Structure 1
């Protein structure tokens, strides 16, 4: 019944000319890789039963322009070090790759490889199939609106790391599933026990001193990277999540980033900091392209506001106070 309803809704949505234009733009930007993306759309357009997968494919592809992988000599050197340690889990290795791609000094010496020009059909199909499988089987996603699933569960990347099928390697352990099901309220157990959701191949982590030696800093003492760590675990656990951030406090210098679980069951956010800090604006990282700001002739637009994947959520969250 749910699948039939979703199919009807998606059929209506797919008739929107704005969406068609957005999708066609992405396919045009794909250049020689267009046939790979069209393979994905064709794969899911053969049967009405695949309507949910087709909608997911459209969402991913039409919002793909602007997402990219960073590559370069420095990043490759770090990756060699990361994967040379066979005692460390896949989770820790992939997390450090994600974090390295978000370090400004490393970004400056790297080259961009656009997803839309390089992502292959086999990768997207596998990722979409596994994501939809989670959508159907995870009780806490049962009543989640489809737009929340698309934006906060479906995306295949976190920052500018090399795309790979982490979704095949990381899943909730059988023991954690038993605990969720034994609670008697499986639909809500994941939201209420986020910290207890153990993942396969998620331990141990790199030794702290080893990371400091490589990067000359402890990145996980920084809120940006701590938030990435929490986001990676949340989404690998099929929890709708993203990163919210305050780029500048209203009453003092500084900024703050945190992992944000997106759920109708979580009405308020709580954050901890030092002293009293008030937010002027709160932004959210998205996978989907936000409205593009087109400057008037000769108008200067600060770099921050040229970002394609930041959404202003200040009105929705209010201006929280961070307390010690």
Structure 2
């Protein structure tokens, strides 16, 4: 047999092996996640069943479920109270020293954690996946990025430890028309810069008081207050609904 033919055959076999290995590894991670989900297993299985026959969306669902065991929300009335105090500071211009001293030693990391995989609903995941794909398929610059990039930077339904919220539709409805009015071209850099400039006009109040987890996209949608972290979180959510993948890797560019 010709040496080149043999080398090509072995190369194809290697690629096939690597593909099957990655596929099997993902399946194993999904199984582990489902076993960890306890009473919520049926909700996750509904998502996998819903996308049966839709290869890309099924893979996206598997990606989210496989990574889900690591993600959680801190819960406690203290967080809601402090968020409202931050919100009030927008209109009052500051937070009183008395309030700051009262909460100065509070540490949210001592609060209970609620894991996504024990609570998340099939409806939530399906909405998130469908809207993420809608953006990916309709933005002209998305064709330059791979499915792996899409899963890693656009598909995710949360940033870190913020509340589990259905935020994507609200950001889509609010900012998609604005982006369309600002830019109709195909250059992702220019489109992202237009949106970044617009977001600056909405303002942001920097208050570093209190120890809090990420405040969450729905809170930030109408309450522009928090750490520098929250300012980045707003831009992150806007990037995800517009598929500004390149800027998600370095939010400082916004």
- TM-score scaled to structure 1, two decimals? 0.55
Question: Where do residues 140-219 of structure 1 align in structure 2 (5 Å cutoff)?
Answer: 140-171=141-172, 172-181=175-184, 183=185, 186=186, 188=187, 190-197=188-195, 204-205=202-203, 207-208=205-206, 211=207, 215=210
Displacement of 1:206: 5.7
Matched residue of 1:63: which SS? Answer: helix
Which of the pair has the greater relative contact order for Cα pairs under 8 Å at 6+ separation? 2
Measure how far apart 1:240 and its partner are: 1.9
Partner of 1:259: 251
Distance in 2 between residues matched to 1:173 and 1:243, nearest whole Å: 17
SS class of match (2:244):
coil
Q: Which has the higher strand share?
A: 1
Residues 227-306 of structure 1 correspond to what in structure 2 (within 5 A)?
Answer: 227-240=232-245, 259=251
The correspondence for 1:35, drawn from 42, 45, 56, is 42
Residue 179 of structure 1 deviates from its aligned partner by 4.0
Which residue in 2 is equivalent to 1:18? 25
Separation in structure 2 between the aligned mates of residue 13 and residue 133 of structure 1, nearest angstrom: 28
Asked if the contact 2:196/2:235 (under 8 Å) is kept, the reply is: no
Q: Residues 200 and 41 (structure 1 numbering): CA distance in 2 closer, same or farther, change over 3 Å?
A: farther
Query: Can you list the C-alpha shifts for 1:34-60, whole angstroms capped at 9, x where unaligned?
Result: 111001001111xx3x22211110110
TM-score, with normalisation over the residues of structure 2? 0.68
Whichever of the two has the greater Rg, that structure is: 2
Q: Name the structure with the higher helix share.
A: 2
CA shift for structure 1 position 225: 4.7
What is the count of residue pairs matched by the alignment? 210
Alignment gaps of 5+ in structure 2: 1-15, 92-104, 212-224
The answer to whether residue 131 in structure 2 is matched with residue 133 in structure 1 is no
Following TM superposition, by how much is the alpha carbon of 1:140 offset from its aligned partner in structure 2, in angstroms?
1.2
Alignment check: 8 A CA contact 1:152 1:240 kept? yes
CA distance in 2, matches of 1:191, 1:162: 30
Gaps of 5+ in 1: 1-8, 88-103, 245-257, 262-270, 272-324
* 1:243–1:149 CA distance, 2 compared to 1 (3 A): closer
